[in-house]
Structure 1
Amino acid sequence: MDAKINYKTIYNTLKEEITQSVFPSGSLLPTEQTLAQKYNVSRPTIAKVYNQLQEEGYIKKKKGLGTIVMHKNVNTTYTFGLLLPGAGESEIFSIINDQLLKQSEEGKFNCLWEGAMANSADIRKNLIETCCDNYIKKNVDGIFFSPLERVPDADLINHRICASIQEAGIPLVLIDRDIMKFPKRSEFDIICLDNFSAGCVMGQHLIDAGCELIHFFYRPDSANSVNLRLSGVKDIVQEHKLQFTNENIHCGNPEDQDFVKQIKVIPGKTGIICANDSTAAVLMSSLDAIGIKISEDILICGYDDMKYSKHLKHSLTSFRQPCEEIANVSIELMMRRIKNKGVVPVTVNLTGEIIIRESSSFIRK
């Protein structure tokens, strides 16, 4: 070839050959020197082409082996691993899990699901890393991971799992929350409820219901998403010129009646926002046991709209998450990441809705 071809032309030609399976997934590309001679260009020019293709996830350079095509044809059936340990504790993860499995039956991918759904957080902690290792050994095309919570070393385990997946070069989508505490941000795609907005909505609801004193209650080692809900509550409460300091934030066991007694209550003017429905349900029982009446002395609400919420002694106002849509969008994020591993990580915040029940309405005598 007598005339030199520019870098962009070589890049476009090679990319098309890869996407059209002239070079199928797993095959080796010609060496940089071979391709440089073919196109009558310098070796650094070909290196630039290969570097860009690698950044975009089409190829991968492996020392001692060569340049391997990583791109898979659109007709390829992908295999994804599900790591949703929270499915053993909250209905929202079971719904997300079921929707992913449903989509796998209708779409061009398969799901591997190895459980880790035990009710005990400690048991899930022991299972989750084993499940992750199995997915990596099976070389799955992607992993959906909802970070572990409610155990003291959850952050360490979550970071270790994500590091292992990243080191294996497997695309990862985080569901429901990040592994970093806000305002820090990890380098992974995240799909979740807009937790800050959800905090604002719930705070505004209690203010509209007549509350002038608002508390936020959560358990120790809760998910990072709880911090965002708390921030939203604090923001809207202070916007209304009401007090919201550390005295309004309670981290403890809702079964501990002595701890619950420390919550300041102004009868007919107090509201408590719980991090989730399970916390709210237990707290309602403790409040009843110490003589504080729901809908008379105090209002209470939670998050997740668990099935039992409407069947409690006082039906619980709750914030419903768009679980099925979370699953659907997570698949879109995964496909985007597979097509181009070099794309900037994104956070997709979805809107939920408040389900108003009797626990957040005062009975005026």
Structure 2
Amino acid sequence: MRRKQLNILESLEEGIITGVYKNGTLLPSEDTLAKQYAVSRPTIAKVYNQLQHKGYIKKTRGYGSQVIHNNARSTYTIGLLLPGSGESEIFTIINDQILKLSKKNHLNCLWEGATVSNAEIRRTQIEHYCEHYISQKVDAILFSPLERLPDADEINLRIFNKIIDADIPLILIDRGIKTQPDVGGYDIIWLDNLSAGGAMARHLIKNGCETIHFFYRPNSANSVDIRLSGIRDTVLKHHLKFTEENIYCGDPSDLNFIKTIKIVPGKTGIICANDSTAAVLLSSLEKANIKITSDCLICGYDNMKYSQYLKYPLTSYLQPCEEMANISVELAIRRIKNKHHIPMIVNVNGKIIERESTMFNR
């Protein structure tokens, strides 16, 4: 079936299921719909034949195409497994937007797995919430995989397999699964981390940095690995050096470790995996007598609210969190209605919010 015809079919199906076209009403005439979609009348006739074959409508010569489907569902139940909401503001924004969407779209969202703050509590409770959602037979689950725990990959894969085995539509938000599962059938919505990494590297190079470092904490999400790839590719394309010596994985509050960072005064830029890491690193660098905006520049990701209020207001990469929430709900509803949809990976772009931390004092 041609793509446009399929799109029209899916649109009408959704309209019937959600009650836009109520049971007993007539669909627009074939001529009217053909003009609306700028297609031929035979194309609409084929769509209506498909709807009749699926039991949505009854076509009667001289009368029209009447909706006979009376099993519309107005509410879907979606379980939220967003454990990062206790750590990063981006999930607060995502949660708030999902709440707005749930009211607007008549969604019943279960929030138990979206309010965990402590990392160890997340470890012990996240699987419990997953099993609870499965026992509740939710229609879909939105899951942001755990990070910053030594066994996060193992836990994430276990949760993933439980959801897939239960045949529940799964949408991953912000992060993927590091250990690539053998099965498909899930969607991902996240930042275009390759592009975001490259954008920040270009920003620092444009502002005078000839040495670029990347700093992240152990057991970070796989999105951080992709971000690093974007940084590396961009730095090398600018004919600058970037090796393992430019990559630092550790605790940003560990002063002895921070002192190992090689700083070329006035020419060094440090890209942190996120703002929380950058904020701690800013303090540690000062304790190590490394001056921000004189010796080095520093930036992060997520544009946390406090970023602009640090001693050196932090340049950060703003993620389109509300749009990520919008798309995640769209993907969930799409897969609820048709579990056989081709899995989608949706990359969204953000923008750099430039502040003092990436401006050299010349």
Bin the TM-score by the shorter chain. 0.7 to 0.9
Partner in structure 1 of residue 267 of structure 2: 269
Does residue 349 of structure 2 align to residue 348 of structure 1?
A: no
Does residue 267 of structure 2 align to residue 304 of structure 1?
A: no
For 1:124 and 1:146, the matched residues in 2 are separated by 12
Partner in structure 2 of residue 80 of structure 1: 78
Q: Pick the aligned partner of 2:332 from 331, 334, 354.
A: 334
Distance change (3 Å), C-alpha of 1:73 and 1:191: farther
Partner in structure 2 of residue 232 of structure 1: 230
Q: What displacement does 1:75 show?
A: 3.5
Contact 1:117 1:124 in 2 (8 A): no
Matches within 5 A, 1:161-176: 161-176=159-174
Q: Give the total of aligned pairs.
A: 300
Partner in structure 1 of residue 188 of structure 2: 190
Classify the secondary structure of the residue corresponding to 1:189: strand
Distance change (3 Å), C-alpha of 1:219 and 1:277: same
Distance change (3 Å), C-alpha of 1:72 and 1:312: farther
For 1:181 and 1:303, the matched residues in 2 are separated by 24
Q: What displacement does 1:180 show?
A: 2.9
Contact 2:94 2:322 in 1 (8 A): yes
Amino acid at match of 2:356: E
Contact 2:269 2:297 in 1 (8 A): yes
Partner in structure 2 of residue 95 of structure 1: 93
Partner in structure 2 of residue 47 of structure 1: none
Distance change (3 Å), C-alpha of 1:255 and 1:184: farther
Please report the RMSD computed on the Cα atoms of aligned residues, expressed in angstroms: 2.3
Q: C-alpha deviations, 1:186-230, integer Å up to 9, x for none?
A: 642000110110000000000000000000000000011000110
Partner in structure 2 of residue 25 of structure 1: none
Q: What displacement does 1:183 show?
A: 12
For 2:108 and 2:122, the matched residues in 1 are separated by 23
Classify the secondary structure of the residue corresponding to 1:114: strand
Classify the secondary structure of the residue corresponding to 1:110: strand
Partner in structure 1 of residue 211 of structure 2: 213
For 1:148 and 1:75, the matched residues in 2 are separated by 32
Q: C-alpha deviations, 1:33-75, integer Å up to 9, x for none?
A: xxxxxxxxxxxxxxxxxxxxxxxxxxxxxxxxxxxxxx99543
Distance change (3 Å), C-alpha of 1:72 and 1:224: farther
Q: C-alpha deviations, 1:236-274, integer Å up to 9, x for none?
A: 000000000000000000011111111111100000000
For 1:217 and 1:116, the matched residues in 2 are separated by 27
Distance change (3 Å), C-alpha of 1:185 and 1:219: farther
Q: Pick the aligned partner of 2:143 from 145, 169, 177.
A: 145
Q: Which moved more, 1:282-291 or 1:177-186?
A: 177-186
Contact 1:215 1:248 in 2 (8 A): yes
Classify the secondary structure of the residue corresponding to 1:97: helix
Distance change (3 Å), C-alpha of 1:72 and 1:226: farther
TM-score when scaled to structure 2?
Answer: 0.79
Segments of 5+ residues of structure 2 without an aligned counterpart are 1-8, 18-68
For 1:362 and 1:101, the matched residues in 2 are separated by 42
Q: What displacement does 1:315 show?
A: 0.2
For 2:202 and 2:120, the matched residues in 1 are separated by 36
Contact 1:182 1:228 in 2 (8 A): no
For 2:193 and 2:250, the matched residues in 1 are separated by 21
Amino acid at match of 1:334: A
Distance change (3 Å), C-alpha of 1:223 and 1:309: same
Classify the secondary structure of the residue corresponding to 1:143: strand
Q: Pick the aligned partner of 1:114 from 112, 137, 145.
A: 112
Amino acid at match of 1:122: E
Q: What displacement does 1:76 show?
A: 3.1
Amino acid at match of 1:275: A
Partner in structure 1 of residue 281 of structure 2: 283
Distance change (3 Å), C-alpha of 1:72 and 1:92: farther
Classify the secondary structure of the residue corresponding to 2:269: strand
For 1:166 and 1:111, the matched residues in 2 are separated by 19
Q: C-alpha deviations, 1:109-149, integer Å up to 9, x for none?
A: 11011045333211111111111111111101010000011
Amino acid at match of 2:74: T
Amino acid at match of 1:210: G
Distance change (3 Å), C-alpha of 1:148 and 1:345: same
Segments of 5+ residues of structure 1 without an aligned counterpart are 1-11, 21-70
For 2:128 and 2:354, the matched residues in 1 are separated by 41
Classify the secondary structure of the residue corresponding to 1:315: coil
Amino acid at match of 2:124: N
